[in-house]
A and B are shown apart, each in its own frame.
Chain A
């Protein structure tokens, strides 16, 4: 009950913070970029026989996620430090 309530409130708060973002229209990539990436993919695919591109993509994704999380942490701490009484 408590865990559920805590997590639900957390999601609710995130939703409130993200409201301006949710008001924006859905994203879509320009067709040229989609085509370019698809073409690049099709030429890179055979290389995966020797070099594990799928692993590389997974690692790069993890890297971006970690850096994003660090950035978010720093922003949060910066905002918190602006509140009087919190160092």
Chain B
């Protein structure tokens, strides 16, 4: 019985390894042939560009601006950028643009603007690609004729371009109007900034890489109180999004927020213009003000003395008592510097390193097989580490 179980387990193990090898072998992609757009709705963060030969139609509700007969007619543009490094990202893109007519829902081919175009392969390219969704026209009694742009994603691609029909339309929402940054109130003294889609903004009619995100804080009389900037992480560190920003104002009350972005060439735009009425206001928690002690209040005076003697000021904590400078100096000097250099080189594994090849991700396989295995390994590794730690210090002689 035991022997049979053993045999079964061995067969199961080898079968699993064999299956895994087949799956991994099929997933190895050096230069994909086809380039598709994938996604569900524009307000979900799942809109993505993938490179494979399967169909990922966009889905979503019919766009509207309040009434059934007042519709946005979006045209969908795919731009092909030829830049290869960050410095070139801000230059105007040379490539192709196509439009798609949502009334007929006909398929299209990149490079052609005819409404009855058919899907197919369009040339061989390499470079960064992204999709821009554009609301080109507003009908009915909508008051403004505004074009909105959303960059869905950016991927390095090398190979043939193949475009197929997007089956459904995309809902018109605020996330479409202000696609790049979305600020939401968190706790009382926090402001969160999401960059759901990309680092790009359309500034001065050019699509540019975002360098900074800023928040302008106004009081209720619309007097500007503060402008705070945060540097956006490099485009190659996409794992760092979303940002969460902490901001504390020294007086409690209601404030109005305007947020915006600055491009690499320091052109900034407010994503919600201050001249329009806000729906957004934010209450900040006041910083606790120090109250003066009465001379006879021994407890208060004692606390003050204790604070003065033992609690460093925020400036001193910020300064780090010189440890920061010491740490910076040590980082560059032998023998510690070698450790830091090697650590910098190897610490990017699995996070930021561009792989020599890619294992193409199929969501069901990743979710149901790879992710649980990976999670199990994470737990196992940490368990082994803490096991080692306990044993190490158990026998340690002080």
CB of A18 within 8 A of CB of B330, answer yes
A69 smallest CB distance to B (angstroms): 11
* Alpha-carbon distance between A55 and B377 when the two chains are bound, in angstroms: 9
**Dominant secondary structure at the A interface:** helix
Given known contacts A42-B353, A49-B361, A52-B350, A27 and B310 CB-to-CB distance under 8 angstroms: no
CB of A15 within 8 A of CB of B326, answer yes
CB of A54 within 8 A of CB of B350, answer yes
A20 smallest CB distance to B (angstroms): 10
How many of chain B's residues touch chain A, expressed as a range? Answer: 35 or more
Asked if B359 lies at the interface with its beta carbon under 8 angstroms from chain A, I say yes
CB of A42 within 8 A of CB of B326, answer no
CB of A46 within 8 A of CB of B310, answer no
A21 smallest CB distance to B (angstroms): 5
User: Which residues of the other chain, B, contact A64 by a CB distance below 8 angstroms?
Assistant: 339
Asked if A29 lies at the interface with its beta carbon under 8 angstroms from chain B, I say yes
* Alpha-carbon distance between A59 and B206 when the two chains are bound, in angstroms: 45
How many of chain A's residues touch chain B, expressed as a range? Answer: 35 or more
B256 smallest CB distance to A (angstroms): 39
Instruction: Say which one of B57-65, B186-194, B228-236, B341-349 lies at the interface with A.
Output: B341-349
CB of A3 within 8 A of CB of B312, answer yes
CB of A45 within 8 A of CB of B356, answer yes
Q: Would you list which residues of chain A between 28 and 48 have a CB under 8 Å from chain B? A: 28-29, 34, 37-39, 41-46, 48
CB of A29 within 8 A of CB of B349, answer no
Given known contacts A3-B311, A18-B330, A26-B333, A46 and B355 CB-to-CB distance under 8 angstroms: yes
Which of these, A2, A10, A15, contacts B309 with CB under 8 Å? A2
* Alpha-carbon distance between A68 and B289 when the two chains are bound, in angstroms: 44
User: Which residues of the other chain, B, contact A42 by a CB distance below 8 angstroms?
Assistant: 353-356
CB of A29 within 8 A of CB of B342, answer yes
User: Which residues of the other chain, A, contact B348 by a CB distance below 8 angstroms?
Assistant: 41
Given known contacts A2-B309, A8-B321, A53-B349, A39 and B342 CB-to-CB distance under 8 angstroms: no
**B343 nearest in chain A by CB position:** A61
**A6 nearest in chain B by CB position:** B321
**B323 nearest in chain A by CB position:** A11
A86 smallest CB distance to B (angstroms): 15
User: Which residues of the other chain, B, contact A66 by a CB distance below 8 angstroms?
Assistant: 389, 392
CB of B345 within 8 A of CB of A37, answer yes
Q: Would you list which residues of chain B between 350 and 366 have a CB under 8 Å from chain A? A: 350-351, 353-359, 361, 366
Given known contacts A50-B374, A51-B374, A57-B347, A29 and B338 CB-to-CB distance under 8 angstroms: yes
CB of A4 within 8 A of CB of B312, answer yes
> Most A CB atoms within 10 A — which of B333, B370, B377, B396?
B333
Ranked nearest first, the 5 interchain pairs of A and B with the lowest CB-CB distance are: A48-B350, A27-B337, A11-B322, A45-B355, A54-B350
Could you list 13 further interchain pairs (A-B, Cβ under 8 angstroms) beyond the known A3-B310, A63-B388? A7-B312, A7-B321, A7-B323, A11-B321, A15-B322, A27-B332, A39-B356, A41-B349, A43-B357, A49-B370, A52-B377, A54-B347, A59-B381
20 contacts between A and B (CB under 8 A): A4-B312, A7-B322, A12-B322, A22-B329, A22-B333, A29-B338, A38-B345, A39-B356, A41-B348, A42-B356, A43-B355, A43-B356, A46-B358, A49-B361, A54-B347, A55-B377, A55-B381, A59-B382, A59-B385, A61-B347
Which residues of B approach A to under 8 Å, CB–CB?
308-313, 316, 321-323, 326, 329-330, 332-334, 336-339, 341-343, 345-351, 353-359, 361, 366, 370, 373-374, 377-378, 381-382, 385, 388-389, 392, 396
